[in-house]
Amino acid sequence: MKSFKQTYENKTVLITGHTGFKGSWLSLWMSYLGAKVIGVSLDIPSEPSHFSAAKLSSRLVDHRLDIKDGEGLKKIVRDSQPDFVFHLAAQALVRFSYETPVDTIMTNAIGTSNVLDSLMCLDKPVVAVMITSDKAYDNVEWVWGYRETDRLGGKDPYSASKAMAELAIRTYVESFFSAVDSNVRVGIARAGNVIGGGDWAKDRIVVDCMKSWSAGQVVDIRNPGATRPWQHVLEPLSGYLALGADLVTSHSNHGQAYNFGPPANQNHSVKELINQMKVHWGNVRWNDTSKDEVHMHEAGLLKLNCDKALSDLNWLPTLRFDETVRMTVDWYKEFYESSEDMIYGKSLSQIAEYTKIAEERGIEWACI
C-alpha cells in the first residue's frame, strides 16, 4: 500500500456528505494531503458546524444536491471525473428516523444506489468507498464483536436503511462491477459512534454536554448505562483512506466490507465517557433521565470485530480512550473560548497530531 499522500495527492476526490461531521473532517484531511476535493451535500446539517467553523467551502468545490437526485449526481460525476468517491451522505440520526422513516430509507438506500449508478457513466478507473454503519448489523446486543459476515438487519428505520444500502452495494458490485477489468472498484466501510470536535448534530451525547457545559448548564443524559465503541472521528477516516489506497492496487478486496472500530477493551458506557470528559472540562453536572422518559429503542451494547481490517489492510486504531476524549474536549474548548478564525488551524493540528501518534506507534499507513 502506498502512503496516503502518494495515493491521494493531485487526485480528484468526490465526497458526498462533505458538509457533515465525518465528511468535513475527511474533506479537510484530503485537502491536507493535496487532493482536489469535490463536495456533494444537500446542505450544512447544523449551525454551528465543523464545515462552517473551519471555513471549508473556500477550500473545495462545493455542490449542493440531494443524493436522491440521480440525474443531478450523474452530471456532477461526469463533469468532475473523480479518481476516488467516498460516499458519506446520509440521514444519520436514529431517533429522527422514527419521524421520517420513508425519507431515511430513500436517502440512505436509494441515495447509495444513485451514487453507484453514477459511476457507470465514467470511462476511467475509479475507487468508491461506501460508508454504511455498524448499526447495519442485526444487533442482538451480545458480548462479542460483530464480524463482517454476521447478519444485517435493524430494529429501527435508520439501521434498516443502512442494511438496505449494503444490499444495494452488493447488487451493483455483482451485477455491474464484478469483472476483473472493471473500471470501478468498491469497498464497504462500517464504523460506529465517533466523537471529536465539530459535531453539533441532534441527540449526540458529546454535543449535548459541550453545549450545556459551555453555558454553565446541567445536561440531561437519557441512557448513561449504554455501552458504545467510542472512537475519535479520525480513526475510521484513516480506515476509509487505507481501504481506498488498497483498492487502487488490489482487486482481491473489491466488494468487501470492513469494520473500523476501537479495540474491544475501549468499549465504555456513556457514564464513563462523561466522567472522562469532566477531567478536561472542569466542574460540570449532569442528570440521569433514564427512568423519567419513555424512549424509543436504542441499542445498549454494540461492538465490532476489526480483525479483517488488520489482516487485509494492516489497519489498527491509533488512540487510547483517554486520548480520544482529550482531543475532543480540547477542540470544543478552542471553539468556545477562542476566535472562530482559529478553528481551521486547530483541526489541521489535530490531524497532524493524530498522524504523529500513529507513526510513533508503528501504524503502517503513517510509517510508509
pLDDT per residue over 191-246, tens digit each? Answer: 987 999 999 988 789 999 999 999 999 999 988 988 777 899 999 999 999 999 99
**pLDDT on residue 268:** 87
What average pLDDT does range 23-45 have in this prediction? 97
**pLDDT on residue 5:** 95
Residue burial 126-164, b: 16+ Cβ < 10 Å; e: rest: bbbbbbbbbbbbebeeeeebbebebebebbbbbbbbbbb
Q: Structural domain of residue 81, as residue ranges? A: 4-292+301-367
**pLDDT on residue 293:** 59
- What CA dihedral angle connects 277, 283, 289 and 290, to 10 degrees? 40
Residue 164 in this model has a pLDDT that exceeds 90: yes
Question: Sorting pLDDT into bands at 50, 70 and 90, what band is 92?
Answer: confident
- pLDDT of 264-311, one tens digit each? 778 888 999 999 999 999 878 899 988 765 555 555 578 899 999 999
Classify the phi-psi angles of 196: left when phi > 0, otherwise alpha if psi is within -120 to 50, otherwise beta: left
**pLDDT on residue 333:** 93
Supply the pTM of this predicted model.
0.95
Task: Read off the DSSP letter of residue 58.
Answer: G
By residue count, the chain amounts to 368
Look up the CATH number of the domain holding residue 250.
3.40.50.720
Q: What is the mean pLDDT of the chain?
A: 93
- pLDDT of 166-183, one tens digit each? 999 999 999 999 998 999
**pLDDT on residue 112:** 98
**pLDDT on residue 223:** 84
Query: How many domains does the chain fold into?
Result: 1
**pLDDT on residue 2:** 83
